[in-house]
Amino acid sequence: MGLQYAPGYLYELKVQKDSLSNTSQNAPDQQWVLVEIVQKVAIEMEQVVTNSELTGSVWSLEQFGPLQTLKSALGDSIPTIFFQLDGHFTGSTGCNRFNGTYTLENSRIKFGSIAATKKMCSGQPGMLEQEQTILKAVESAERYQIENGKLFIFSASDAQVLVYKK
């Protein structure tokens, strides 16, 4: 059985955690397996996000941090964020994955129900700071702007900014 995702629906799933054997050093030692699709409910049209510039494309992080001293994204795996039409998003910090919901109103953006994996990440200096900045900026995001093919997500009082490109 598999999930054939369709935009415009909210899913309730029953999953099971399975331990994996023979994992490599950087691979997870467990996975989540779909057991059952409990419920699939159509979302009312006013709940569906309509900003076509924002949705449907993977955005890759270019820079992060305070606006005056932006740092370039780090790591072999570039951090990303993907906005779905149904008000859900998924992303990566370059090490861990995160997801949740979002709402838009004019240039305002609010993220909610944020969940993240907590894999121990080794790597180059600055990766932990990058991950913490991304997660904190998303949690406290107040507004966004799309300009010249770039997505800017601003945290409360513009203390932190994330700069993504398509």
* Rounded average pLDDT over 77-99: 92
Is the pLDDT reported for residue 114 higher than 70?
A: yes
Q: How many domains does the chain have?
A: 2
- Measure the CA–CA gap between 111 and 69, rounded to whole angstroms: 24
Task: Give the phi and the psi of residue 135 in degrees, each rounded to 5.
Answer: -65, -40
53 and 37 part of one domain: no
57 and 131 part of one domain: yes
Q: What is the mean pLDDT of the chain?
A: 84
Domain of 144 in residue numbering reads as: 46-165
Q: Is 22 helix (H, G, I), strand (E, B) or coil?
A: coil
Prediction pTM value: 0.69
73 and 150 part of one domain: yes
Is the pLDDT reported for residue 148 higher than 60?
A: yes
What is the CATH number for 77?
Answer: 2.40.128.270
27 and 85 part of one domain: no
pLDDT at 156: 84
pLDDT digits (tens, 9 = 90+) for 20-66: 766 566 667 777 788 888 888 776 544 445 567 888 889 999 999 99
22 and 65 part of one domain: no
In terms of Cα–Cα distance, which of 77, 69, 58, 66 is closest to 133? Answer: 66
pLDDT top residue among 148 and 30: 148
Is the pLDDT reported for residue 98 higher than 70?
A: yes
pLDDT digits (tens, 9 = 90+) for 59-86: 999 999 998 899 999 888 899 999 998 8
Is the pLDDT reported for residue 151 higher than 90?
A: yes
pLDDT at 122: 67
